[in-house]
Amino acid sequence: MRLLDYFKSTRNINTASTAKDRLQVIIAHERQAMRGPDFLPALRRDILEVIKKYIPVSENQLDLHVEQEGGYEVLELNVTLPDEEKIAS
């Protein structure tokens, strides 16, 4: 009977170790996501307001995000501009 208890306890330790490793990976991923720039929502609003002074655009026509390339972070901004006919009117 003790022989079965020995194998059972070893299995629990391995399971706990695996769960701990997985949790550490999840926590590291979440920390990386939290380190992302928190200024993006404010920057997005400010850029949209400046563009609206010159061209009528809506919020869904503006795409702003940060990418990491090598050792650099790149801010990418895409604006879908309306047709020239809509701007003139």
Per-residue pLDDT reduced to its tens digit, 20-78? 888 888 887 776 666 656 777 888 889 999 998 988 888 888 888 888 788 888 888 89
Plot region of 74 (φ>0 → left; ψ -120 to 50 → alpha; else → beta): beta
5 pLDDT band, cuts 50/70/90, is low
> 37-89: which CATH architecture?
2-Layer Sandwich (3.30)
- pLDDT attached to residue 28: 76
For residues 57 and 51, the answer to whether their CB atoms sit within 8 Å is yes
DSSP letter string, 5-51: HHHHHHHHHHHHHHHHHHHHHHHHHHHHHHTS-TTHHHHHHHHHHHH
Note the pLDDT tens digit of each residue in 48-61: 999 989 888 888 88
